[in-house]
Amino acid sequence: MRNIRSVIFGLGFLIGGAFLANLFGAEAGAQQRTVERIWAEEDCQNISGASAIFLYVVSENLGEGDRLRNEGYEAEANESYESGLRFSELAANYARNFEVYCK
């Protein structure tokens, strides 16, 4: 009889734990759905557009760096490459913000 009580007691905890896990999991999922899409559509479009502009500037900087290097201006080419790197970091940061706040 004692073993049956222990089994019933254990099953009760197991079922209760599963119920609570489902309850809190559903609540966390609902909270996550309300957090999605924090920014307005216009702001998200602006963030996406800015990231695209930064990527365009990166390609221009890299092209300019290549041109300068081919002409023998090593220091100026390195400056252009470094500028491209800074703009690529900006583009990546904007893309991350878009992913976090707009998706």
Q: What is the pLDDT of residues 31-59, one digit of tens each?
A: 555 555 678 889 889 999 999 999 999 99
Model pLDDT, residue 52: 92
Mean pLDDT over 55-79 rounds to 94
The reply to whether 47 and 97 lie within a common domain is yes
Model pLDDT, residue 101: 87
34 is written with which tokens? 């309300």
For the chain, give the mean pLDDT. Answer: 77
Structure letter (DSSP) for residue 72: T
Q: What is the pTM of this model?
A: 0.60
The reply to whether 56 and 96 lie within a common domain is yes
**Nearest CA among 40, 59, 55, 31 for reference residue 98:** 40
Model pLDDT, residue 3: 44
Domain count of the fold of the chain: 2
Domain that residue 29 falls in: 1-36
Q: Are 80 and 68 in contact (CB under 8 A)?
A: yes
Phi, psi of 60 (to 5 degrees): -65, -45
The reply to whether 62 and 102 lie within a common domain is yes
28 is written with which tokens? 């966390």
The reply to whether 86 and 99 lie within a common domain is yes
The reply to whether 55 and 85 lie within a common domain is yes
Model pLDDT, residue 66: 95
